[in-house]
Structure 1
Amino acid sequence: MATPNYGYEKRQKELAKKKKKEDKAREKAARKLNPSSEGLAPGDPETDVASLERDPPTVPELPTKDG
């Protein structure tokens, strides 16, 4: 009877974990480059376009030379 090769099994788990991590990072980068409306909470003031149209974000005034 053959003995289990634990080193091989461990290496396969490590490779699968590494691949999953790379895939996740690739998907995250793709989401960052191509943001979509998926996953956005409706009514969220930072992402809700309707709330931005009603209440535009305020921009702090820049100081002038005169004070």
Structure 2
Amino acid sequence: MATPNYGYEKRQKELAKKKKKEEKLREKSQRKLSPSSEGLAPGDSETDVASLEHDAPTVPDLPTKNG
């Protein structure tokens, strides 16, 4: 009787897991880019991708103990 190839089985599980993760990311990005079903047009400021990209808040430099 042949012995099981555990390395092959593990690799197949890893590939399936990777594929599933990529599909989830693809679906998530599709949902981000597509307009919502609330009736908002793609040009609305609420769904416009450019309006969603905000600059990071700036924090003033705090003085250090050394001066």
Q: Give the TM-score range, shorter chain.
A: 0.5 to 0.7
Q: Quote the Cα distance in structure 1 between the aligned partners of 2:22 and 2:35.
A: 19
Question: What displacement does 1:28 show?
Answer: 0.3
- TM-score, L = length of structure 2: 0.53
Aligned residue type for 1:28: K
- TM-score, L = length of structure 1: 0.53
Question: What displacement does 1:26 show?
Answer: 0.4
| Equivalences, count | 39
Question: What displacement does 1:11 show?
Answer: 0.3
Aligned to 1:53: none
Is 1:25–2:21 an aligned residue pair? no
Q: Quote the Cα distance in structure 2 between the aligned partners of 1:19 and 1:28.
A: 14
Higher relative contact order (CA 8 A, sep 6+): 2
Q: Which runs of 4+ in 1 moved over 2 A?
A: none
Larger radius of gyration: 1
Aligned residue type for 2:32: K
Identity of aligned residues (%): 82
What CA deviation, in whole Å up to 9, does each residue of 1:9-51 have, x standing for no partner?
00000000000000000000000000322xxxxxxxxx7x8xx
Q: RMSD across aligned C-alpha pairs, in angstroms?
A: 1.7
List runs of 5+ in structure 1 lacking aligned partners: 38-46, 50-67
